[in-house]
Amino acid sequence: MYKHYGWEVSPYSVKTRAYLRYKQLPFEDLSPTMAKLAGTIRKKVGRMVMPTVELPDGRWLQDTSVIIDYFEGVRPDPPVAPAGPVGRYLAYLFECFADEWLPLSAMYYRWTEPETVAFIREQFGQGCLPGAPRMLRDPLAKRMMAQMSGYLPVLGIDERTADGIAAMTGELLNLMEAHFGDHLFVQGSRPSLADFSLLGPIQGHLYGDPGSRHLFDSRPRVIEWIDRCYFPSGNEGEFFGDDEIPDSCVALGAFCTRELGPYIRDLNAMAAEWIEANKGAPRLPRSLGSMRFEVAGYQGERKSLTFSLWMAQRIADARNESPAAVDAWLSERGIPEIDVHLPRRLEFRDNYVWLA
């Protein structure tokens, strides 16, 4: 039996929980207390973080992509990435977009809606110290709330970008609403990595939090998709073949590329410069400093997180399996490819991005 540690209000935990359910893997879904997070989890994976998975042989996995890659290895069927090169490229594009770009929406709405902040104080408190009196829970909840809301400036969420984040979120949900008029999941009639990844911030924050649930009032098909993904009823269905990807899915891919692509391109340039200036360094720092960025055309400033580049390398790897086919498909639709050009390959372990 595998042990999955994550809260309902943690988006990355929603991603792995939905994935493990869909794959029908035998797992115990556990809510880690503060003692567990600060004790065993910090000791085993190096930081207080969720989700984590404890394997029956005593090893621990962290990072949703590492967790999913591991289980795709031990239980490949049904696979969560399509077989065709374009389908694979899109699966990793949607994953990177959801993991590295959608925190803008998730964190913005969570920490600016008073109704949600009150809800989260309760959720964090009950998560840290279940059943304890409020006077003991609240200080722990507040400390964790301060830590999490401290990510707003890291991600560039402020008055300069707020309207852009709201516009980007609305556009994404509209594209999804249109797509789900004809299709059950993002990449066909069965869920892929794209669905689990998008579900994380959409269920874990935007729909689950009371202050942002109104975003779904006019998007009922997205609500139905949330239910299908989070409570899977079977694993039948098909992915779109590469030659039958519908316009509504192409539109989602173009949108994710428009938003995420420039951030990855600029990060890549900063990392290339840093590697050149730091020859012999075994790993990249977590951040390469501040950088300008744009969300839905609104300019802001954020930290350049090298982890995002490791995630983008997954998209590049998918493209490099069949670059000619992927590039031809993208260029026919006017979508630029997301690529990572660095002199060294990136590896993620022990919470750092290493230069192979």
Minimum CB–partner distance for residue 166 and ligand GSH (Å):
21
Write the DSSP string, 326-353. Answer: HHHHHHHTT-PPP----SS-EEEETTEE
Closest CA to 260 of 188, 206, 314: 314
- C-beta of 318 vs 330, nearer to ligand GSH: 318
Which residue of 50, 141, 199, 330 would you call a contact of ligand GSH, by CB under 6 A?
A: 50
CB 173 within 8 A of CB 222: yes
Which residue of 2, 4, 5, 10 would you call a contact of ligand GSH, by CB under 6 A?
A: 10
**Total residues contacting ligand GSH (rule CB under 6 A)?**
10
Write the DSSP string, 222-276. Answer: HHHHHHHHHS-------BPPGGG--HHHHHHHHHHHHHHHHHHHHHHHHHHHHHH
Minimum CB–partner distance for residue 223 and ligand GSH (Å):
22
Contact call for residue 203 and ligand GSH (CB under 6 A): no
Contact call for residue 209 and ligand GSH (CB under 6 A): no
Query: Which residues, in sequence order, are CB contacts of 3 under 8 Å at separation 6+?
Result: 27, 28, 30, 53, 54
Minimum CB–partner distance for residue 24 and ligand GSH (Å):
22
- C-beta of 61 vs 172, nearer to ligand GSH: 61
H helix runs in 180-215, sequence order: 193-201
Which residue of 18, 19, 45, 64 would you call a contact of ligand GSH, by CB under 6 A?
A: 64
Contact call for residue 11 and ligand GSH (CB under 6 A): yes
Minimum CB–partner distance for residue 201 and ligand GSH (Å):
9
- C-beta of 11 vs 253, nearer to ligand GSH: 11
Contact call for residue 268 and ligand GSH (CB under 6 A): no
- C-beta of 64 vs 313, nearer to ligand GSH: 64
Terminal Cα-to-Cα distance of the chain (whole angstroms): 34
Minimum CB–partner distance for residue 144 and ligand GSH (Å):
8
DSSP code at position 184 = S
* Cα separation, 323 vs 344, whole angstroms: 19
Structure tokens given for 78: 């049904």
Contact call for residue 63 and ligand GSH (CB under 6 A): yes
Structure tokens given for 341: 């050009």
Contact call for residue 12 and ligand GSH (CB under 6 A): yes
* Cα separation, 216 vs 122, whole angstroms: 23
Contact call for residue 99 and ligand GSH (CB under 6 A): yes
- C-beta of 240 vs 348, nearer to ligand GSH: 348
- C-beta of 11 vs 87, nearer to ligand GSH: 11
Phi then psi for residue 282, to 5 deg, are -80, -20
CB 41 within 8 A of CB 5: yes
Contact call for residue 95 and ligand GSH (CB under 6 A): no
- C-beta of 151 vs 231, nearer to ligand GSH: 151
Site for ligand GSH, rule CB under 6 A: 10-12, 49-50, 63-65, 99, 147
